[in-house]
Amino acid sequence: MSQEPSNDTQLLLGRVLAPSGFINQGALLIEDGKLVFVGAEDELPGVYAGLPASQVTLTGGTLIPGFIDIHVHGGSGYDFMDAAPHVLDAITSFHCSQGTTAMLATTVTAPRDRLSEVLDHVHAYMQKEMPYAALEGVHLEGPFISPLWSGAQNPAHIAAPTTSWLESWEQQYPGLIRQLTLAPEREGALEVIAWLKQHQIIAALGHTNAAYEEVERAVEAGLHHAVHTFNAMTPLHHRQPGAVGAVLGDSRISAEIIADGIHVHPAAIQILAKIKQENNLVLITDAISAAGLEDGPYTLGDLPVLVHDGVARLEDGKTLAGSTLTMIRGFRYLVQTVGLSIEEASHAASGTPARLLGIDHRTGSLEAGKQADLLLLDEQLELQGVWVKGIQKLK
């Protein structure tokens, strides 16, 4: 904390969600894009007592950490598979307006050259100042998935698991790939998972026909995450627990959930949340380009999608194709429909994804020394303000 406030110092007063719980008459001090004080208003250092009114915000609401979406394909009419700079600006701007302060650019199963192009664009974008939600890297959803559970991934582009692609990409773009979704039962998958663990990349199961035992072998190799739990994976049966049974039963596996009331019944989310209480539940959107727009025809990768009543499906009318969800809507659903506390929902939307990505030392919670990535909510949990690195993006 500086000795004297600067002209850029911001003081926010309101109900603050700190790591220890809510501070009802709380205060946040922001300097140089970071939180320099998080605590009770009456414990503010005296040097800040005389801040000009222009630098003090009486929020009248609740301040929580910004959301981190590790599984999102697009929004506002754009798809990360077409990752030109204006596309990345449009997607990160839209999701920032919905409470996301950091995210992973998520791909779909595609040819190697196409994936390389996405990595190249995202890498270049991340070298510059990012004006909206920060891209923290890339989540490769595929192409090493099961043809039996392709879902809304194009089966024509599914490839056999191999480390050769990954080694090439990692050499060219070190640290860019942060998560890889694959089917752990496929030949070569265990070797890929071990490679991912060695390179500190999240190894996640998804679009998988794996039996319970195959998932457990993968966990021993280094797999520790599950994408859009319950969707596109072998279900729970009392004699064949399947991938879902492994996700529920193994505390080493963190679990994503799409909390939109379409992909998963709220009762199933309640069960998952009760089991994944050790900060292992992760709220995601799995949003596609249609997020934020009207019903109509869209694409996911190179597959045509039709959105009706806000639900995205492939042309067959049956297969769900991502979502039109936003993080603030998913957050409200967890609290207002599923019954999680605001603290629990915040862990799922911010703290746990930050820990998974290894960025919890700088974001994901409201603590002195961390980036000022935060949100202002009203009593109905409607979004009233967004700050990314101390800069207010939504007023």
**Hey, what are 391's tokens?**
């800069």
Note the Cα 12 to chain centre separation in Å: 26
Q: Is the pLDDT of residue 101 over 60?
A: yes
Residue in this structure with the two tokens 């900060």, named with its chain if needed: 279
Is the residue at 202 inside a domain?
Answer: yes
Q: Same domain, yes or no, for 27 and 149?
A: no
54 CA to centre of own chain: 34
Q: Are residues 108 and 198 in the same domain?
A: yes
Question: Has residue 278 got a pLDDT over 90?
Answer: no
What is the overall mean pLDDT for the chain?
96
In a domain, 315, yes or no: yes
271 with 241, same domain: the answer is yes
Residue 47 banded pLDDT, cuts 50, 70, 90: confident
For position 279, what pLDDT does the model report? 82
Residues 109 and 151 in one domain: yes
Strand partners, 308: 311
Are residues 30 and 46 part of one domain?
Answer: yes
Judge whether 3 lies within some domain.
Answer: no
**Residues 71-97: what's their mean pLDDT?**
97
**16 with 83, same domain?**
no
pLDDT value at position 354? 98
- The CATH number covering residue 226 comes to 3.20.20.140
3-state secondary structure 177-231: EEEEEECCCCCCHHHHHHHHHHCCCEEEECCECCCHHHHHHHHHHCCCEECCCCC
94 plus 152 within the same structural domain? yes
In this structure, the answer to whether residues 40 and 167 fall within a common structural domain is no
Number of domains in the chain: 2
Q: Is residue 334 part of a domain?
A: yes
Q: Does 279 fall in a domain?
A: yes
Give the domain range for residue 263: 67-357
Catalytic residues: 286
255 forms beta bridges with: 226, 281
What pLDDT does 394 receive? 81
Asked whether residue 2 is domain-assigned, the answer is no
Q: Is residue 183 part of a domain?
A: yes
Report the distance separating Cα 297 and Cα 77, nearest Å.
Answer: 11
Residues 119 and 236 in one domain: yes
- What's the N-to-C CA distance of the chain in angstroms? 26
Please list, in sequence order, all residues whose beta carbon lies within 8 angstroms of the beta carbon of residue 179, skipping any fewer than 6 positions away.
70, 104, 137, 138, 139, 140, 201, 202, 204, 225
The pLDDT of residue 7: 77
Q: What are phi and psi of 165, to 5 degrees?
A: -60, -45
**Same domain, yes or no: 40 and 124:** no
- Indicate whether 4 pLDDT > 80: no
Average pLDDT rounded to a whole number, residues 296-309? 96
pLDDT at 218 over 80: yes
CB 106 within 8 A of CB 71: yes
Both structure tokens of 229: 């739990």
The reply to whether 59 and 71 lie within a common domain is: no
pLDDT reported for residue 3? 60
Instruction: Please check the confidence at residue 76 and state whether its pLDDT lies above 80.
Output: yes
Q: Is residue 226 domain-shared with residue 121, that is, in the same domain? A: yes
Q: How far apart are CA 390 and CA 361, in angstroms?
A: 16
Q: What is the pLDDT of residue 395?
A: 72
- Non-local (6+) Cβ contacts of 160 within 8 A are 144, 186, 187, 188
Q: What percent of the chain has pLDDT over 90?
A: 93
